[in-house]
């Protein structure tokens, strides 16, 4: 403990200083328009069965239709996709997929082109966690590339590969 610099901080400030990867969590209603948002609360939960989770703010516009979706995708952004992270975290929610490269995954959920990895999930469980919902997905397909990851820390986006 360094007495010179240690100080009490809010949960938000501590979590902001903790580096994470950045993902786009997305789905489609039937064969309809894709929708999604920037998410860094993504983590693995279980290997057998293979489960991941994301935490979605209950006040976000995507919340209700995302937790109601039978399937969703997690596009793990690459180091050069900072603009996409910003776009999917900004209003309006509509049109985020316009003019970006994406394709329909095997479960119908959209996959963002150029990502470092993709995970396609079926909805496994939705739990309440305070003002967020914990959306648990069963991993049905996972694809990885050799691209570097996009990293988020203290409000800044950077590429892990430099
Ligand atoms: C790096 C980063 C990570 C984020 N992680 C989350 C997250 O884990 N869960 C969440 O609900 N919102 C998260 N957000 C905020 C949403 O992306 C943002 O509020 C978005 O506009 C919500 O879209 P919607 O209102 O269309 O649902 C994050 C934003 C940024 C920039």
Q: What is the pLDDT of residues 50-81, one digit of tens each?
A: 999 999 999 999 999 999 999 999 999 999 99
Cβ(57) – ligand 1 distance below 6 Å:
yes
Residue-range domain boundaries for the chain: 20-155
Q: What phi and psi values does residue 153 have, to the nearest 5 degrees?
A: -155, 135
Segments of the chain scoring below 50 in pLDDT: none
Which pTM value belongs to this model?
Answer: 0.96
Ligand 1 probe mutation, 15, 21, 38, 86, most atoms within 8 A of CB: 38
Helix (H) or strand (E) holding 64: helix 63-67
Give the model's pLDDT for residue 160: 86
Tell me what pLDDT residue 2 has: 64
Assign domain 20-155 one CATH number from 2.40.50.100, 2.102.10.10, 2.30.110.10, 3.40.50.620. 2.30.110.10
Taking the CB of residue 81, how many other CB atoms lie within 10 A of it? 26
């Amino acid at each position: 403990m360094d007495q010179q610099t240690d100080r009490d901080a809010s949960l938000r400030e501590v979590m902001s200083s903790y580096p994470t990867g950045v993902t786009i969590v997305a789905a489609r209603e039937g064969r309809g328009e894709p929708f999604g948002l920037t998410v860094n609360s993504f983590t693995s939960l279980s290997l057998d069965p293979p489960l991941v989770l994301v935490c979605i703010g209950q006040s976000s516009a995507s919340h209700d239709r995302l937790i109601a979706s039978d399937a969703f995708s997690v596009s793990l952004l690459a180091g050069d996709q900072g603009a996409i992270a910003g776009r999917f975290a900004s209003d309006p929610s509509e049109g985020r997929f316009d003019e970006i490269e994406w394709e329909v995954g095997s479960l119908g959920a959209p996959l963002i082109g150029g990502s470092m990895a993709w995970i396609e999930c079926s909805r496994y469980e939705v739990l309440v966690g305070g003002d967020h919902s914990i959306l648990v997905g069963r991993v049905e397909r996972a694809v990885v590339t050799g691209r570097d990851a996009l990293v988020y820390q203290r409000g800044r986006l950077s590429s892990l590969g430099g």
